[in-house]
A = this chain, B = another copy of it.
Amino acid sequence: MAELRTVPLSALPAPSAPALDARTELAEAVKGRVSQADGDRLAYARDFWPLGLIFQREGRVPPPPDLIVWPSSEDEIQAVIAVARRRRLPVIPYGAGSGVCGGTWAVNGGIALDLKRLDRISPVDPAARTVDADAGVMGETLERRLAADGWQLGHAPSSMYMSTVGGWLAARSAGQLSSRWGKIEDMVTSVRAVLGTGERIETPERPFSGPDVAQLLIGSEGTLCVFTRARLRVFPLPEGRAFHGYDFKSLADGLEAIRVMFRAGLRPSVVRLYDPFDTAIVGDQKPHVSTSSPAQKPLLSRELLPALYRVLAPQTLGRPGFMNRAASLFKKSRLVLVFEGEAQRALDEDASARTLCARLGATDLGPEPAQKWLAARYDVSYRMSKVFEGGAFADTFEVAAPWERVLEVYERVRAAVAPHAFVLCHFSHAYLEGCSLYFSFVGAAPEGQERERYETIWRIALSAAQSAGSNVSHHHGVGLLKARALHDALGDGRHALKMLKEHYDPDGIMNPGKLGL
């Protein structure tokens, strides 16, 4: 992690002189929708990266943007970029701030470009089965609008209520149903954007000839362009869903089940395998669905984890390895599957999966674990700060790995992090080649040492994962958090990225520092 500058939370530095000089021009560009108020600057200074909460406990905050602007059209975005180029001011495209890697932190100040006024959604084109959505459209708004007419994107990130179409594109978002409906890059048929040069671009519909410029811009995290609009595939709302939970004797058996399932051509929309520790506490994710089946009774409660941690912390501080070792006594791994689409096909696929899991010795838990998961799927993202209030910290760490490396990545990350924090993991977003690993960790440190402990955990976790063969990130993006790791992983490829940067953003104004650019 790069060394990050912070400023006092209670006394933000004034906007820079070049920014203030540009204010009149910017106001002209966006019809007066410019702010330099400290309240606004503070709001745009952070995203959901937990490091921001650790800073907050220290009374600090990342450097805020100098100004915030709210353009409402491509023309206005072009005008803002023209001003920024002339004045050499950073431009930070901003969706809804759900990022967890510092992708919108204004490390060098500049202009936060809030895109939420670009909020048009076209009617669905039923012949082409596509919808056009502006970059500032919120995920939940879009899915609700589509659902009213019987459609869905099938994109359901847990940030659904606080993320935008533009943000999804910028960070290569994956929704919880990606194994069936694809990641955002698979859902897009074309994009519109304004480059760092100020030029507009609209990419051709697939299939097409020549280089794929859309796929080049997707994932660029604001460093090359501002997305303005996307044409996205839509699907009819599922006619039916089939739910199932299974307990496997070991994590390895559960992973094997997913691998075999995908290789046999089954495509569950939801596939989530919990490691033994997470399995022990996963049962009550949705307290409002009652159950009397003993197989689904949780041993621990996820809700209670932070509380438990606070109780145990004084005893285990500096040696959370104890609880991690206790956790390793658990062996069972729970798999949650949902098949959806045409009703009979969903049932057929569910039946095939059942046969396959039985062959691997799994216990069939019936539909309830999966139904519970679905009902609670958006509950998690808003609950993190309580942990921090209690003096601890928590974060999630996600990567992907090929099937033959998944277990090793898991073991090595756990071994590396265990001395410093509690570690849980689940496996989801499966592919023919592998799947993603999604670690959660909860830790604490003596007062004043939280940041150091937090950064240590990240460093060793990323290092363990990468040396065991994982990639840098599955769907949380890179931002500042993983900039160094991406740099290392790209090897020679980083020249190609630098070239793109120099060409699409010749003045280096676009979201500086992100992706290591």
Residues of A within 8 A of B (CB): 125, 127-130, 171-172, 174, 183, 185, 189, 195, 199-213, 215-221, 224, 233, 236, 263-265, 341-342, 345, 348, 400, 402-404, 429, 431-434, 436, 471-475, 477-478, 482, 486, 489-493, 495-497, 499-500, 502-504, 515
Are A432 and B215 in contact, with the CB atoms below 8 A? no
Q: Give Cα distance in the complex from A217 to B195, angstroms.
A: 20
Given contacts A201-B495, A433-B130, contact A474 B207 (CB under 8 A): yes
* Interface residue from B128, B431, B475, B502 paired with A404 (Cβ < 8 Å): B128
Are B205 and A471 in contact, with the CB atoms below 8 A? yes
Q: Give Cα distance in the complex from A341 to B432, angstroms.
A: 14
> Which chain B residue shows the least CB distance to A500?
B211
Are A477 and B209 in contact, with the CB atoms below 8 A? yes
Residues of B contacting A171 in the complex (Cβ-Cβ under 8 angstroms):
209
Are A212 and B209 in contact, with the CB atoms below 8 A? no
Are B211 and A402 in contact, with the CB atoms below 8 A? no
Q: Give Cα distance in the complex from A500 to B174, angstroms.
A: 28
Q: Give Cα distance in the complex from A215 to B434, angstroms.
A: 20
Are A433 and B206 in contact, with the CB atoms below 8 A? yes
> Which chain B residue shows the least CB distance to A516?
B210
Are B215 and A210 in contact, with the CB atoms below 8 A? no
Are B471 and A202 in contact, with the CB atoms below 8 A? no
* Interface residue from B125, B211, B491 paired with A217 (Cβ < 8 Å): B211
Are B219 and A207 in contact, with the CB atoms below 8 A? no
Are B211 and A403 in contact, with the CB atoms below 8 A? no
Are A265 and B129 in contact, with the CB atoms below 8 A? no
Residues of B contacting A203 in the complex (Cβ-Cβ under 8 angstroms):
493
> Which chain B residue shows the least CB distance to A433?
B128
> Which chain B residue shows the least CB distance to A195?
B496
Q: Give Cα distance in the complex from A199 to B403, angstroms.
A: 31
Residues of B contacting A125 in the complex (Cβ-Cβ under 8 angstroms):
404
Most B Cβ at <10 Å: residue of A129, A210, A495: A210
Q: Give Cα distance in the complex from A125 to B432, angstroms.
A: 13
Most B Cβ at <10 Å: residue of A215, A403, A493, A504: A493
> Which chain B residue shows the least CB distance to A217?
B211
Are A218 and B207 in contact, with the CB atoms below 8 A? no
> Which chain B residue shows the least CB distance to A342?
B264
Q: Give Cα distance in the complex from A174 to B209, angstroms.
A: 11
Most B Cβ at <10 Å: residue of A172, A208, A500, A502: A208
Are B207 and A400 in contact, with the CB atoms below 8 A? yes
> Which chain B residue shows the least CB distance to A210?
B219
Given contacts A492-B199, A496-B201, contact A208 B471 (CB under 8 A): yes
Are B432 and A201 in contact, with the CB atoms below 8 A? no
Q: Give Cα distance in the complex from A434 to B478, angstroms.
A: 34
Given contacts A201-B492, A404-B127, contact A216 B207 (CB under 8 A): no
Given contacts A205-B402, A471-B209, A482-B209, contact A216 B219 (CB under 8 A): no
Given contacts A127-B402, A128-B403, A503-B500, contact A493 B207 (CB under 8 A): no
